[in-house]
Amino acid sequence: MKPILEKIEPGFGSSFKIQHFSDPGYCNAPQWHFHPEYEIVYVSTGRGKRHIGDHISYFQNGDLIFLGPNLPHFGFTEEILEEHVEIVIQMKEDFLGKDFFQQPEMHLIRQLFERSRQGLTYKGETKREVGRRLMKMEKMDNFAKLVELLGILQLMATSTEYKLLNAKGFALEVGAQDHDRMRAVYKYVEKNFQEEIRLDLVASKVSMTVPAFCRYFKKLTSKTFTQFANEFRIAHACRLLADEHLSIAAVSFDSGFNNLSHFNKQFRLIAGTSPSHYRKNLKKLVDSNYLVQLTESEQKN
């Protein structure tokens, strides 16, 4: 159930790799993978899950994340809204030389690199500004791209508009069978999380007995399979709470919880707040984003 190693090669004449996706039909299908490079992912619009290491959460209205090396993760976007752009930048820790980031001018970026080992997500003006700058990079020459990347890293390093995802890496031993197992488990949970998930059926998907599967999963992820499934359900619930027409009970049921009290307990345990309080904060965030977009539109006109 371990992730597959992704080999990343920078483009000719460049020390890092940048990918730009704008095709509406592009789908970042889930694939459990890791790589030794640092990674910036900008998603302009859309909804999806952050499944990074042992962390699962839900985002809407796009995302900006920064991941440290060897931090296993899936693809991110599930539902594309309006005009959609995804930009991915990947770089090795020594992509500018062994000692470049040891210089005193780079100390804030060194701190950023250290924080990124737990996974970072950005919001607000930082997300918008980094997104704008990333989209302009595509037309720059290689030298200008490098200078701009350093500027973006410095912006992310000095911003306070971030949240630590507290994701953890795993002891990585790559094997095709392990990769196939993880994909099978994730696919099964994704398809069946709204119903009761029987451990014997999940274990059979990866040709294991229940005790062997439980030990295997706990050793890999430092959590039980039940915790993993509940985190997946709560991430789905976070998405549904954006719809004010749905009652908390309806959200609970649609997320695979038949007991409202159990749902509230799991939501508070995983999300750190109650479903109702999460919905109130989500509404404030949506209203705030709307005002920012309105202001930007008025400035253009």
Q: What is the pLDDT of residues 237-256, one digit of tens each?
A: 887 887 888 999 999 999 99
Confidence of residue 172 (pLDDT cuts 50, 70, 90): very low
How do residues 116-129 score in pLDDT, each as one tens digit?
988 999 999 999 99
pLDDT, position 264: 95
Spacing of C-alpha 82 from chain mean position: 20
- Report which of 139, 228, 151 is spatially closest to residue 182, judged by C-alpha positions: 228
SS3 state at 43: strand
Structure tokens at 178: 């392990």
Are 79 and 67 contacting, i.e. CB atoms less than 8 angstroms apart? no
User: Which CATH superfamily includes the segment(s) 176-279?
Assistant: Homeodomain-like (1.10.10.60)
Kindly tell me if the per-residue pLDDT of 74 is higher than 50: yes
Tell me the C-alpha distance between 181 and 184, whole Å: 5
- Put simply, whether the predicted model's pTM sits higher than 0.85 gets the answer no
Query: Class of 4-164 per CATH?
Result: mainly beta
Are 32 and 76 contacting, i.e. CB atoms less than 8 angstroms apart? no
Tell me the C-alpha distance between 217 and 198, whole Å: 15
Q: Given strand 86-91, what is the order of strands in its sheet?
A: 17-21, 86-91, 38-43, 63-67, 120-122, 162-164
The domain limits of the chain are 4-164, 176-279
In angstroms, how far is the first alpha carbon of the chain from the final one? Answer: 53
Structure tokens at 112: 């950023």
Kindly state the average pLDDT of the residues 76-101.
81
Kindly state the average pLDDT of the residues 207-225.
87
4-164 and 176-279 share one CATH topology?
no
Kindly state the average pLDDT of the residues 25-43.
72
Residues in contact with 21: Cβ distance below 8 Å, sequence separation at least 6, in sequence order = 28, 85, 86, 87, 88
Q: What share of the chain is helix, strand, coil (3-state, %, to 5)?
A: 50, 15, 35
CA dihedral over 25, 8, 112, 169, signed as positive or negative:
positive
